[in-house]
Structure 1
Amino acid sequence: MKQRFVSLLLTAALGAALLASCSGEGGGNAADREGGEKGATPIYIYQNTGALNAKPEGSVPAELEKMKQHYVEKLNIEPIAIIPPQGGDAAKEKLNLLLGSSDELDTFNGNWDDYAPKGAIIPLGDLLDEYGQDIKKAWPQEAWDYMTDKEGTIWGIPRGMPATHYPIWIRTDWLKKLELEMPQTLDELEAVLKAFKEGDPDGNGKDDTIPMMTDLNGIKNALLGGYTEHGNSNWFDSSDQMLKPAELAPGFKDFVAKMADWYQKGYLYKESFAKFDPLELLKTNRVGTSSMWYSRITLLFPQIKANLPEEADYEIIRGIQGPKGKPMTASPGSTTAQLITKKSKNAAAVIQFINDQYKDIPTNSLTAAFGTNWRYVGDSKFEVELTNPEIAYAGEYMLSLGTATETAYAFKDPIKEMHADYLNKELLQLDTAKMPVDATIIYDKVQLQENIPTLGDIDRLRSEELVKFVTGARPLNDFDAYIDQLYRAGLDQWIAEYTKQYNEKKQ
């Protein structure tokens, strides 16, 4: 009910707020003209980019003020940060309230195809042409394609490219202790998981090891490709020329059966499909492998490594194969972007502010992220380190997150080095995974909702029932009945609409 109330509030209030904003200054002037004699041009930033991960509560006020003055003096722009509440639902609710109210808000991070149909954001093409030349140069055309609708309108500034986010990590010290080889097939991985479960590699004398830490996205994106030709992807059925969901692909039932078997045997963490804290789990020294989003290891493990046995280490299992090849499915580019609100009074200043972070990569983006708390190591403009482990400025003004900036440097800092190495050496290695069949297709969400009235029900069934099968809450011999259930929920309409859009948009 709470989410429905917020949605209704946004719908009701957004129209009035946007109508009022249309009579304002708009985004046509540069910051020096927008500020004029009144001083620096203010821009209001909803900082939901993820830049605050290391310090979600935000900066020490005095340090934030120093950074604000840096941009006032450099650009004549006064950035004003709005810190989201912690927790995904609360942060989204706060954003919706800001969008639907008369409160100032210039820019936020989100999927442009969620907000453009609602009239909540503005096109950026002309603004980028005039004030964002460095932004445009930083991203290849493929990234801009994901920002562009079928009429050729650019709605956002990219965040990323197709990438590999779900490798399988393994405790190499446990392999050595149990005299095991690095697994090269999923069958060999299963044997390792069994050994981790039964061999007490953590040495605590208890039957409490966690062979694999994972979640719903982890099993689909890290493992499904080993059992189906296209992995966690829609697929084109040549028998009837229709695009279909992964659940209908040959091999999907085999995948479900294997995951259910692993779960029943205790190879998968028993709370994999509920809420749990990966950092706290890693602290226990009981996690043998991980198939979750890569940063659950690259960002979290270095933080607690000093409290684990000295030899503790995680490495990626490279070259592993399943019956149908590579287990991992790459993530396609997405419509996630830095957006400018329709009610923004100073949109040009927002583009100028972001463009500055792309003007001298990585120097200016590092400053936006870490303030003065960083420096280059030696003569190279690649290796960097923090000058103080205590974070005072948290990154409220960092709006250039993404592969264009984050793969341009690497941290010498041991806490950040593992993450930086993954970004620079692994993230864009697409040959280690299967690319989704429709990776380049941007589906029209409005048309999907209109032409598939039960889309939400189908999506819910696809996630909830898979969890039931894996955890044993629903027996595997119900799988055919589950497929029938999807069809009763409107899967024929789903297939027809996705196929239609796929055929229209494929290049």
Structure 2
Amino acid sequence: MNQKGKKALYTLSTVGLATAVLLSGCGGTKNEPAKTGNAGGTTGAPTDVSLMVINYGAQFSDQNNFLWKEIEKRTNTKLNITWVSPNNIIEKTNVTLASGDIPDLMYLEDLNLAQFRSMVAQGAFWDLTPFLKDYPNFKNIPAYAWENSKINGKNFVIPRPYPIVGGGLFPLIRKDWLDKLNLKMPETLEEFKAALKAFVNNDPDGNGQKDTTGYAATAGSLNFIYNTYNNTNGEWKEKDGKLTPNITEDASREALLYIKGLYDEGLISKDFSILKLSNINEAVNSGKAGSAGYAMNNGWKFTEELRKSNPNAAMVPMPYVKGPQGNKFTIATSGFYGAFAIPKKVPEDKVKKLLAFMDYGFSSEGNTLANYGVKDTHYTETNGLKKTTEKFAQDLLDGNFMGIYMLNSNDLVTLVPGIPSDFYELNKKVYTEREQAAPKDPSVGLFSESNAKLWPDIKKKVDDMRVKVILGQEKIEAYDAFIANLKKDGDLQKIIKEMNDAYAQKNGK
């Protein structure tokens, strides 16, 4: 899994897709029946549909679930779903692909998996390009999601749309602590460090003890700093028309020293290298963390919990941070998170029914149903803002079918059930600012077989060395020698060549 994919997975698994609200920008009206939803036709036996898909719910639904039955009824299908936890989705994907027993709709979190790409090259999956025009709701998926998920210029997958900015591990920060300590919203990395220092040393929670954390961190939630220094998203940057990996850049060395400075001054979690997401959630919810890396939609989730004991609490998303060269930076995605492919063993007439089933999920009716359920039963709506009910949780709508029909709106990261209008307006403002501050990932849509096979091991070695330097187990000179040797590594050189060949081909060079 590439780093971008890891970030997306990590982010979404923290919040559950139920934190996204209010469909916008989709075709049709809320109560309009989907025109292509009946995968099995309006009459006759239902179409059997097998799926394997990631599930973020605390509890997986089964065929007795309300929403399972409702979607079957509206699409005239009989569903056989294998839900997979985010914790082992890549392992499960590889095992399934290797077995040959591939479901009708195969979820792929990472389209650059070497095994999947090899199977595509061998003709094991349908090229869906000729069929897509016949399914009107697919037009509701943004064009960039379709474009960025192409393989060799063709649509072998149906992408799950995801907002360009607002996801990924980027800082949320306690605005009420900033106000109390007379600090403005940090804009530069140095201002961010100064805020963390104040959070640690100046008793922002007012209990008279030095017991607060500046940035509650895992190793992954520090990666935005490396990207900020390199002024690029993803693992690669463009220099003089060529791609080069961030890991060997001098800018990454400077980022490492910045992070070590945070650690040495006690401004980030002491055990960041081994902490889990649950530890960070606990630190934030207990009111002991001044900042942490999350998707934007977590801001209100945490704020709502914190206000149970502190009515002034506000955990808000930072719009951006400026790098050493003055560039504004924020995390950006490729515009989709995961996708579905159909194996070639499925006959063409069934392919069309499967596409109808998926198309239904991007109608206004289908998208709203999968993400919120039934109005006035699973959610209420006031002035355009949705609020989920107890029935929403009872019927296991949190997670589950959201993984099949991803909410098709930027509100996935800006609007949360129960969010007040002022916080929603703040999120929208931040989203707009982030759109102007997000450099592109130049490696989006590129594939290198060597990169798919060899990069994970190289990256792990780099990550391990970085952690050792931050913890003081290795000197920066050892890191320098390590990177110097890495630059000569034959595997890395092979990856760089293949990635640049793919980059040149994509750009017609």
Match of 2:284 among 279, 282, 288: 282
Superposition deviation, residue 446 in structure 1: 2.5
How do residues 148-163 of structure 1 correspond to structure 2 at under 5 angstroms?
A: 148-160=150-162, 162-163=164-165
Alignment partner of 1:357 is 2:361: yes
Match of 1:214 among 210, 214, 217: 217
Paired with 1:234 and 1:446, the residues of 2 have a C-alpha distance of 16
Superposition deviation, residue 429 in structure 1: 5.0
The one-letter code sitting in structure 2 at the alignment partner of 1:385 is: K
Alignment partner of 1:201 is 2:198: no
* Matched-pair identity in %: 19
The one-letter code sitting in structure 1 at the alignment partner of 2:311 is: E
How many residues are aligned here? 455
Cα 1:454–1:82, aligned 2, differ >3 Å: closer, same or farther? closer
Alignment partner of 1:444 is 2:443: no
Paired with 2:247 and 2:111, the residues of 1 have a C-alpha distance of 28
Q: TM-score, normalised by structure 1?
A: 0.77
Q: List per-residue Cα deviations over 1:6-29 (Å, max 9, x = no partner).
A: xxxxxxxxxxxxxxxxxxxxxxxx
Cα 1:503–1:318, aligned 2, differ >3 Å: closer, same or farther? same
* Secondary structure, counterpart of 1:482 in structure 2: helix
Q: List per-residue Cα deviations over 1:420-461 (Å, max 9, x = no partner).
A: 77885545755443413515x422232545xxx753432222
* Secondary structure, counterpart of 1:45 in structure 2: strand
How do residues 244-255 of structure 1 correspond to structure 2 at under 5 angstroms?
A: 244-255=244-255
The answer on whether the counterparts of 2:102 and 2:343 sit within 8 Å (CA) in structure 1 is no
Superposition deviation, residue 78 in structure 1: 2.1
Aligned to 1:265: 265
Aligned to 1:11: none
Aligned to 2:193: 190
5+ residue gaps in structure 1? 1-29
The one-letter code sitting in structure 1 at the alignment partner of 2:49 is: I
Aligned to 1:435: 439
Paired with 2:49 and 2:105, the residues of 1 have a C-alpha distance of 8
* Secondary structure, counterpart of 1:112 in structure 2: coil
RCO comparison, higher one (Cα < 8 Å, 6+): 2
The answer on whether the counterparts of 2:200 and 2:213 sit within 8 Å (CA) in structure 1 is yes
Paired with 1:398 and 1:431, the residues of 2 have a C-alpha distance of 25
Superposition deviation, residue 272 in structure 1: 2.2
Q: List per-residue Cα deviations over 1:198-223 (Å, max 9, x = no partner).
A: 122223443331100233333222x3
Superposition deviation, residue 57 in structure 1: 1.4
Paired with 1:279 and 1:355, the residues of 2 have a C-alpha distance of 36
Q: List per-residue Cα deviations over 1:289-345 (Å, max 9, x = no partner).
A: 1234445x3375146324442222112334542322224342334573123344446
* Secondary structure, counterpart of 1:105 in structure 2: coil
Superposition deviation, residue 257 in structure 1: 0.8
How do residues 340-351 of structure 1 correspond to structure 2 at under 5 angstroms?
A: 340-344=342-346, 346-351=350-355
The answer on whether the counterparts of 2:284 and 2:292 sit within 8 Å (CA) in structure 1 is no
How do residues 15-26 of structure 1 correspond to structure 2 at under 5 angstroms?
A: none
The one-letter code sitting in structure 2 at the alignment partner of 1:171 is: R
How do residues 457-468 of structure 1 correspond to structure 2 at under 5 angstroms?
A: 457-468=457-468
Aligned to 1:77: 77
* Secondary structure, counterpart of 1:484 in structure 2: helix
Superposition deviation, residue 113 in structure 1: 4.0
Cα 1:177–1:200, aligned 2, differ >3 Å: closer, same or farther? same
The answer on whether the counterparts of 1:144 and 1:154 sit within 8 Å (CA) in structure 2 is no
5+ residue gaps in structure 2? 1-37
Cα 1:474–1:60, aligned 2, differ >3 Å: closer, same or farther? same
Aligned to 2:52: 46
Paired with 2:181 and 2:353, the residues of 1 have a C-alpha distance of 59
* Secondary structure, counterpart of 1:499 in structure 2: helix
Paired with 1:389 and 1:263, the residues of 2 have a C-alpha distance of 45
* Secondary structure, counterpart of 1:83 in structure 2: strand
Q: TM-score, normalised by structure 2?
A: 0.77
Cα 1:436–1:67, aligned 2, differ >3 Å: closer, same or farther? closer
How do residues 213-252 of structure 1 correspond to structure 2 at under 5 angstroms?
A: 213-221=216-224, 223-230=225-232, 233-238=235-240, 242-252=242-252
The answer on whether the counterparts of 1:194 and 1:211 sit within 8 Å (CA) in structure 2 is yes
Q: List per-residue Cα deviations over 1:127-160 (Å, max 9, x = no partner).
A: 4233x2211x112332211222225343333433
Alignment partner of 1:505 is 2:506: yes
The answer on whether the counterparts of 1:163 and 1:332 sit within 8 Å (CA) in structure 2 is no
How do residues 87-486 of structure 1 correspond to structure 2 at under 5 angstroms?
A: 88-89=87-88, 91-101=89-99, 105-110=103-108, 111-114=110-113, 115-119=116-120, 121-130=125-134, 132-135=135-138, 137-160=139-162, 162-165=164-167, 166-221=169-224, 223-230=225-232, 233-238=235-240, 242-276=242-276, 277=278, 278-295=280-297, 297-298=298-299, 300-302=301-303, 304-318=305-319, 320-324=321-325, 325-333=327-335, 336-344=338-346, 346-359=350-363, 361=364, 363-372=365-374, 373-375=377-379, 377=381, 382-388=384-390, 391-395=393-397, 396-398=400-402, 401-402=405-406, 404-405=408-409, 407=411, 413-414=417-418, 426-427=430-431, 430-436=434-440, 438=442, 441-446=444-449, 448=451, 454-486=454-486
Superposition deviation, residue 279 in structure 1: 1.9
The one-letter code sitting in structure 1 at the alignment partner of 2:186 is: P
The answer on whether the counterparts of 2:161 and 2:407 sit within 8 Å (CA) in structure 1 is yes
